[in-house]
A and B are shown apart, each in its own frame.
Chain A
């Protein structure tokens, strides 16, 4: 299964903000975490992640700082700001609405036939 590009793009911001809300992190770790949480279904590219991080930084949702790790290697860490937390709360409210509505449609009373029909068609 491949998640549609538009959906990936739309959900990327709350996901990144959500991960950063857990604590500061860096690009590669964020990518690994997304991969892990989605069981490898969400395959983000670097071309998606880094420009997104830079955009969030420009908007003031995250801040970045360079720390040195082993030897001369430097790593850019991002951490979420108060403004970013507020944005995350707002995005979460919106996504809750979307998810709730979808659940109502797909799992709500009287619609169980539609739900069972999907996997059946898939197998046929």
Chain B
């Protein structure tokens, strides 16, 4: 072996050592540099004393002691490093990553400003937020979501056909929101206001997954994104609430009433901007912070299971029928959404290859009890509709109920087969991701076809 080979060998060993050090969260890049210099000093001295390079390396590493002990000592001085910090800009070690995150931040700020401006733009044409509910309600999602889709498409460098599709779908959404002659008080305004955001959110999903829209994995990523986005949005909203409270309080103390500013500017523009900020946070922190939605799922799955089972027992005990008013139907729809969410976000965080555990078994009673409750509700409501005729509200709620019921029923079946080890977990995951277009299709049907079907009631 020549001295040159020796040197190459040594460099390789150093590279490997660096790799180990860099995996330690307690040790930063500069610490790794400092320790490497130390190690090299030690090796040089041992080589000068007559050892061969590889022997010297082994001795030097041995002297430095176990990496565990070393990082523990570092952690005592730098305890903040044990908390994963979301560094918004700067602080990253490589220059390339830093320029990238800076560009991301700027693009997000532009899009957020665009979304906020979009909210106020209709006022130039004489619209008033307080009065024109039939305009602002259905159009609410059209202010922020196109900007969100644009931001995501920009980040993923979407190609032209996809951009064209996105533009076309948002245009279609604008048509659905504005083309029909609906009165301020009509049921269809409310229905469209609820369903258009769902339809457009799935268009955002298209921008999120870009070219791989058929891939089950990418769709699952979008589901994860949705959950985290929601958590962040709620957190930002809470912060916004505190900000609002202080603004109102302090200004009122000096005799100025900021209510108009709050309701006309801060809330609508803030909500539109927060849509973008939340998405940007999720994208930026993807690998930094653990996902919180699956944690909430773990916490609440047992609690919801107990609540639903208790409700079923109470129905059986009292033999009371469910009093199905319109609100009750919506309530039970939301219940199914929550159960589906619990199922979805535990799927999203699960290792697909792991064998069924106690938590998977716990989900089965949750889904089954939700199904049982829903069947009771559904029987009641179909009786009502055949008796009194239907309205857009009832038809939409009923449609959602059927869609969710179908999803959960098949999920329960797949879950049962998975727990008994007949089918792999991937089947359940594929079922859920494959179902996303169904939600999209239904939401589009409701916003496009319902108003004419029910003669613009």
Contact = CB atoms under 8 A, between A and B. Distances in A.
Interface of A: 26-29, 31, 45-48, 50-52, 54-55, 58, 66, 73-76
B430 interface: no
Interface SS majority for chain B: helix
A52 B41 CA distance: 19
B77 A28 contact: no
Contact of B64 (A46, A52, A66, A74): A46
Interface string B40-78: 111000000000000000000000110001101110111
A47 B74 contact: yes
Contacts of A66: 33
Interface residues of B, number: 20
B65 A76 contact: no
A76 to B, nearest CB: 5
B35 interface: yes
A45 to B, nearest CB: 6
Given A76-B33, A76-B34, A50 B42 contact: no
Interface of B: 30-31, 33-35, 37-38, 40-42, 64-65, 69-70, 72-74, 76-78
A21 B35 CA distance: 23
A48 B37 contact: no
A51 to B, nearest CB: 4
22 contacts: A28-B37, A28-B41, A28-B42, A45-B65, A45-B73, A46-B38, A46-B64, A46-B70, A47-B70, A50-B31, A50-B34, A50-B35, A50-B38, A50-B74, A51-B73, A51-B76, A52-B77, A54-B77, A73-B37, A75-B37, A76-B30, A76-B37
A47 B72 contact: yes
Give the 5 A-B residue pairs with the shortest CB-CB distance, closest first.
A47-B73, A28-B41, A51-B77, A47-B70, A28-B38
Contacts of B33: 66, 74, 76
Contacts of A27: 34, 37-38
B287 to A, nearest CB: 26
Nearest to A69: B37
Contact of B73 (A48, A73, A74): A48
A44 to B, nearest CB: 11
B308 to A, nearest CB: 53
B77 A74 contact: no
Contacts of B72: 47
Contacts of B69: 45, 47
A71 B78 CA distance: 30
A55 B76 CA distance: 10
A74 B40 CA distance: 11
